[in-house]
Amino acid sequence: MERRLVLVAACAFVVAAVLYSAWLPGQFATPGVDRTNGYVSELAARDQPWSGLFRLTDALAGLACLIGVACVTRDDRREWGGWLAMALFSVLTAVDALFPLDCAALGDPACERRPLSLSHHVHAVTSVLAVGAVIAAMVLLGLRFRSRVAWTLAVAMGAVSVFMLAAMTHQALVGAAQRAQLALIACWLLYLGVRLLTREPAVPADAPRVRQAGGKHVVRQGAGPAVIIASGMAGAWYHWDRVAGELARDHLVTRFDRPGLGLSGPPSGPPTLYGEAARLAALAPAHPEHVTIVAHSVAAWHAEAFARLHPLRVAALVLVDPAPEPPRGSTQTGRAIGLWLPLLGETWGAQGLAWLLG
On whether the 209-320 domain is CATH 3.40.50.1820, my answer is: yes
284: alpha, beta or left? (left if phi > 0; alpha if psi -120 to 50)? beta
C-alpha angle 39-44-47 in degrees, rounded to nearest 5: 100
Q: Which of 228, 242, 202, 327 is nearest to 283 (CA)?
A: 228
E strand or H helix that includes residue 230: strand 226-230
Least confident of 54-58, 63-67, 227-231, 317-321: 54-58
DSSP 116: -
- Ranges of each domain in the chain: 2-198, 209-320, 327-358
Rounded mean pLDDT of 108-120?
Answer: 74
pLDDT greater than 70 at residue 142: yes
Split at pLDDT 50, 70, 90, the class of 237 is confident
Average pLDDT value for residue range 85-93:
94
pLDDT of the residue at 66: 94
Q: In this predicted model, which residue has the larger pLDDT, 90 or 210?
A: 90
Burial 315-325, CB ≥16 within 10 A → b, else e: eeeebbebeee
Of 283, 285, 221, the C-alpha closest to 253 is 221
Q: What is the helix (H) or strand (E) element at residue 137, kind and residue range?
A: helix 118-145
pLDDT band at 135; cut points 50, 70, 90: very high
Indicate whether 203 pLDDT > 50.
no
CA proximity to 256, closest of 205, 311, 281, 219: 219
Name the pLDDT band for 1 (thresholds 50, 70, 90).
Answer: very low
Q: In what order do the strands lie in the sheet with 209-213?
A: 209-213, 216-221, 252-256, 226-230, 291-296, 314-320
Q: How many CB atoms lie within 10 A of CB 146?
A: 8
